[in-house]
Chains A and B, each alone.
Chain A
Amino acid sequence: MQQPVSVWRSAGAIAGLTAREMLREPVCLMLILSALLAGLMLPMLTAHQMGGQARLAREGALAFHLLFGLLLAAYGAQVTLGRALVSGAASLVVGRALGRIGYLAATALGILGVLLLFSVSAIATATLTGEAAPQDFAYNRLAVGLAVGAPLAALAGAMLGSRLGRRNFVADATLGLAVSLPAAALLATSLSDSGEWIGLAATCPASALAGGLLVTLAFLPAVFMALALATRLATPALIACTLAVLAGGLVVRPVTAVAPPALAALLRAALPDWQIFWSAGELSAGDTLAALPAAATYAVMLALAWGVTGILLFRSKTL
């Protein structure tokens, strides 16, 4: 009846539960929708005919991807670990098959799963919004139609599921966006303006994909940072800290360039350099994949540092 409890089974159960809690949290859907809809509206917002609208729209969508992804990581950590600490659920889980370190790692895995899903939608949004951006005063009507239709289809599907099958609207909408937007992006890059097939993802720019991957890598340390902070901070303080780290990390490179060497070293050690994940300009210049290995190494190092910090903070936390 009762088997020896498998560590992997327990870790899978905790990661799955974390992802499910996040997917069903209305505020998480609100953050995801905000990022995606803001990205999809960029063709209309950047309609000044100064040239390079497609690139501007893609970079804007990537910026929303990074900003809202970090917020989602912070809020996700609060919704899962923070709430479990307050409700006592963490005390029921820790010490069974997994200790505190395993619990923290499994929770991080669950949040990363949801962020990966968000990244799929956000990368598709960046591609789609680039396709929909006006060129010579003319919009790609097919791409615009797909950009409007894809989120609506996801929301309508979730609404139908909720009405007819009593399914969870929030989770279905989030999952629906991760399906409908990539499908729309694939169609928009495979068909011409007039709807003719021109080849699978023929117009899909590699730079948008690589830029999206870079931003996705930034979520790895962001999740561990958010979890470390969630062991001690309530939601408003956690969000404020995340935004401060985001802002600090974006300006750390120019600030350290002019700061005295000791202060520069301190700033580099204390703040993550988000610019490493933000090489959209270089990517547009054609250097698509060269930045990925260095960014991945940096992301893993940062994640380890925040992970160790999180473990130290969580170990001394009274459950």
Chain B
Amino acid sequence: MKTNYLQELNSQPEISTAVVSVRNLTRTFRDFWGRPVSLALRGISFEIRAGEIFGLLGPNGSGKSTTLKAILGLLRPSSGNVQVFGRATDDRTVRERTGYLPEESYLYRHLTPRELLRFFADLQGLTRTTACDRIGQLLDMTGLTHAADRPVSEFSKGMARRVALAQALLGDPDLLLLDEPTSGLDPLGCRQVKDLILTLARRGTTVLVSSHRMADMQDVCDRVAILLHGRITVTGAVNELLRLDHTCRLTFPEPAPDDLAAIQKLIHTYSGADAALDYPACTLENFFVETVVKADNSETNPSGSRPMAALAPFLQGSLSKNQQ
């Protein structure tokens, strides 16, 4: 399925490989009397290419969620236009190929994860057999099989987030819109969701992520746009935007103190500047994840969420097809 849509886009020269194309998008919110209340978006333009992970960053009220809703066709632009897969956003086929994870995790509080996924499978027109297979695989993948028949209202925020994420992946979407995907998740869950996003992008899924967590965005995004007061202030590839000019780092096993002094002196001689000395450390996130994984190997926690498992087989199927 993934290869088909990529081939379809690439084989038509008049259609760019931009999966999402936003042009001069403006959105004004009005009050009951039609008076403008806030100018949420002020003529923003950007494109998201096929298979790319694109991040929308910005403080609260900067217009991130409004942009996502415009891409989903849930609100009409005051001016400008949005195209997804080269089509208008209200085209039903666009919606069928798009998965969306909203910011709020508790979608239907009284349903169990299995019932909730069954409901969305019905809306997506999945056959009963396909739906059962996918629901089972997604529950396994999100580590919720043991809690599949408990109401979502009893779940922790992190567990509810996993259910919402499973809902977004149920239709095996070509475009995935994620609003704060790691919100409420523990560091291990965050890492697993980030790995999942990277894996999905490798198999050709285009991902748009909106988040406040800069470290998470840095870990997964190919390109980002920073929104401020409804305008895009910066856009570009993450590794280019973050690179420090005229500086490089050389990492090697720690030498003897005398050798280190000699190396610093040598650098000073060549560059005319003092070399900054620091000792690389792993991140606290990595340290925490390693500790938890070690502890989890020795005991289980039947009431809470369990670690996410490998990618669901129905998603892996497309990966192998794409690699062929």
Q: Which residues of A contact B (CB under 8 A)?
A: 1-6, 9-10, 12-14, 17, 20-21, 24-25, 83-84, 86-89, 91-97, 166, 168, 318-319
Task: Check: B75 CB closer than 8 A to any chain A CB.
Answer: yes
Question: Chain B's nearest CB lies how many Å from the CB of A48?
Answer: 43
Contact B110 A20 (CB under 8 A): yes
Q: Which of B29, B106, B115 contacts A20 (CB 8 A)?
A: B115
Q: What is the CA–CA distance of A5 and B171 in the complex, to the nearest angstrom?
A: 12
Q: What is the CA–CA distance of A89 and B160 in the complex, to the nearest angstrom?
A: 13
Q: Which of A10, A91, A318 contacts B123 (CB 8 A)?
A: A10
B75 closest partner in A (C-beta): A318
Question: Chain A's nearest CB lies how many Å from the CB of B217?
Answer: 21
Q: Which of A2, A3, A4, A91 contacts B74 (CB 8 A)?
A: A91
Contact A97 B125 (CB under 8 A): yes
Of B72, B107, B115, B149, chain A has the most CB atoms within 10 Å of the CB of B107
- Chain A residues whose CB sits within 8 angstroms of the CB of B111 once the complex forms: 17, 20-21
List residues of B (105-130) whose CB comes within 8 Å of A's CBs.
Answer: 106-111, 115, 119-120, 122-127, 130
Q: What is the CA–CA distance of A173 and B149 in the complex, to the nearest angstrom?
A: 19
- Chain A residues whose CB sits within 8 angstroms of the CB of B96 once the complex forms: 2, 5, 96
- Chain A residues whose CB sits within 8 angstroms of the CB of B204 once the complex forms: none
Task: Check: B222 CB closer than 8 A to any chain A CB.
Answer: no
Contact A96 B119 (CB under 8 A): no
Contact B103 A88 (CB under 8 A): yes
Q: Which of B107, B151, B171 contacts A2 (CB 8 A)?
A: B171
Q: Which of A1, A20, A21, A89 contacts B127 (CB 8 A)?
A: A1
Identify 6 new A-B residue pairs, CB closer than 8 A, beyond the known A87-B106, A318-B74.
Answer: A2-B126, A10-B123, A88-B102, A91-B72, A96-B96, A318-B29
Q: Which residues of B contact A (CB under 8 A)?
A: 29, 69, 72-75, 90, 92, 95-96, 100, 102-104, 106-111, 115, 119-120, 122-127, 130, 149, 151, 167, 171
Contact A89 B90 (CB under 8 A): no
Contact B72 A96 (CB under 8 A): no
Contact A92 B90 (CB under 8 A): no
Question: Chain A's nearest CB lies how many Å from the CB of B117?
Answer: 12
Contact B75 A319 (CB under 8 A): yes
Contact A88 B110 (CB under 8 A): no
Q: Which of B74, B115, B167 contacts A319 (CB 8 A)?
A: B74
Contact A5 B100 (CB under 8 A): no
Question: Chain B's nearest CB lies how many Å from the CB of A72?
Answer: 16
With contacts A9-B125, A96-B123 known, is A166 near B149, CB below 8 A? Answer: yes
Contact B149 A96 (CB under 8 A): no
Contact A94 B74 (CB under 8 A): yes
- Chain A residues whose CB sits within 8 angstroms of the CB of B103 once the complex forms: 88
- Chain A residues whose CB sits within 8 angstroms of the CB of B106 once the complex forms: 87
Q: What is the CA–CA distance of A12 and B119 in the complex, to the nearest angstrom?
A: 10
Contact A5 B74 (CB under 8 A): no
Q: What is the CA–CA distance of A319 and B171 in the complex, to the nearest angstrom?
A: 21
Q: Which of B75, B124, B127 contacts A96 (CB 8 A)?
A: B124
Q: What is the CA–CA distance of A87 and B151 in the complex, to the nearest angstrom?
A: 16
Q: What is the CA–CA distance of A199 and B149 in the complex, to the nearest angstrom?
A: 46
The 6 A-B pairs at the shortest CB distance, nearest first, are namely: A88-B102, A5-B125, A24-B110, A13-B122, A89-B107, A87-B104
